[in-house]
Structure 1
């Protein structure tokens, strides 16, 4: 009996040890879907996280997230390089260190200054913080809080984004996008430390 249990204990410990932690954010953490889409994150300074989304290293997008949550910049990646013409920025009225961390059942409404397509504007964003649950990526499991973002100033009242925020890692990824014309769901099934 002991000979059977010992390998199981060793394998379980090895699987748990392989699960990324917040300490791995300097190297990076990568999520992958069943279809091969991926999103990789790494910290780039105090309260800032860079995210890379794509199907391969040549096409996708790069984001900058304050506190691993609030989008401050997005730019398309074409042929492996950022395309400056696609860059959009979102300026919040608070520095990242003062932007709220999500609290279950809470929320935040904010108006941000925007710059996209050569135009300056503003956008109201309403964040609704959901209740904590557990999210599993193969052998790794984390606390997860769904966060819904609505944009009431837009002509499309159905537009909303749903993020999955992992407080143990300090990052969030886009899990759902909805508008009057379409819905997209990004279902990541694995997580690993970036190489």
Structure 2
């Protein structure tokens, strides 16, 4: 039997679970995009490209941002810094997986998956072992909007820092994930996403 959090069941019963709430983005909005706001004032926007990849744009200063490309809304394929809207290719890092992007696994609650990715950045080719642990589905609120959410923990077994790991929040209805937590031996950063709207 599949068990769901009581709160999620109550939300579903009252008709307000997921992005179907009035004014809340749905998967249909991903072509034009959705924008989250963090409690610290930054914004992160996501949209689905014609090739099916998800582009993320994290704006942290006026005229400065980082752009990511995600396979299946989860797996990082590219990250690059933007200056005045233009990519600074000296900061670009790419990741390649053994499978085509469309065949990388979607999260299954309680499941795990490991892979070795090839990386290229700053003129160097390397490999990176990644281990994904998919948590149990719960729900996440962004203001008045509520969505099913699967937490994903990514660890890097070959790194010397055993405490290094990331936590993503994956929203199946929108087909995207964002970095919610970063941990290493020097400490932790928690990113609090507080609202969501369709991109202008």
TM over 0.5: yes
Gap regions ≥5 residues in structure 2:
1-19
Structure 1 length-normalised TM? 0.89
Question: Alpha-carbon deviation of 1:42?
Answer: 0.3
- Describe the SS at the equivalent of 2:58: strand
After the TM superposition, list the runs of 4 or more consecutive aligned residues in structure 1 that deviate by more than 4 angstroms: none
Residue 100 of structure 2 corresponds to residue 104 of structure 1: no
- Provide the residue aligned with 1:49 in structure 2: 54
Gap regions ≥5 residues in structure 1:
1-14
- Provide the residue aligned with 1:4 in structure 2: none
- Provide the residue aligned with 1:188 in structure 2: 193
- Provide the residue aligned with 1:137 in structure 2: 142
For 1:57 and 1:133, locate their aligned partners in 2 and report how far apart those are by CA, in whole Å.
Answer: 34
For 2:63 and 2:85, locate their aligned partners in 1 and report how far apart those are by CA, in whole Å.
Answer: 4
For 2:82 and 2:168, locate their aligned partners in 1 and report how far apart those are by CA, in whole Å.
Answer: 21
8 Å CA contact 1:91–1:113 kept in 2: the answer is: yes
Relative to structure 2, which stretch is displaced further, 123-132 or 15-24? 15-24
Residue 132 of structure 2 corresponds to residue 127 of structure 1: yes
The count of corresponding residues between Structure 1 and Structure 2 is 181
Larger Rg: 1
- Describe the SS at the equivalent of 2:158: coil
Relative to structure 2, which stretch is displaced further, 84-93 or 46-55? 46-55
Residue 30 of structure 2 corresponds to residue 25 of structure 1: yes
For 1:93 and 1:57, locate their aligned partners in 2 and report how far apart those are by CA, in whole Å.
Answer: 37
8 Å CA contact 1:33–1:190 kept in 2: the answer is: yes
For 2:96 and 2:128, locate their aligned partners in 1 and report how far apart those are by CA, in whole Å.
Answer: 10
- Provide the residue aligned with 1:70 in structure 2: 75
Choose between structure 1 and 2: higher helix proportion: 1
Relative to structure 2, which stretch is displaced further, 154-163 or 46-55? 46-55
- Provide the residue aligned with 1:178 in structure 2: 183
Structure 2 length-normalised TM? 0.87
Question: Alpha-carbon deviation of 1:81?
Answer: 2.1
1:105-124 alpha-carbon deviations (Å, 9 max, x no partner): 00110000000111001000
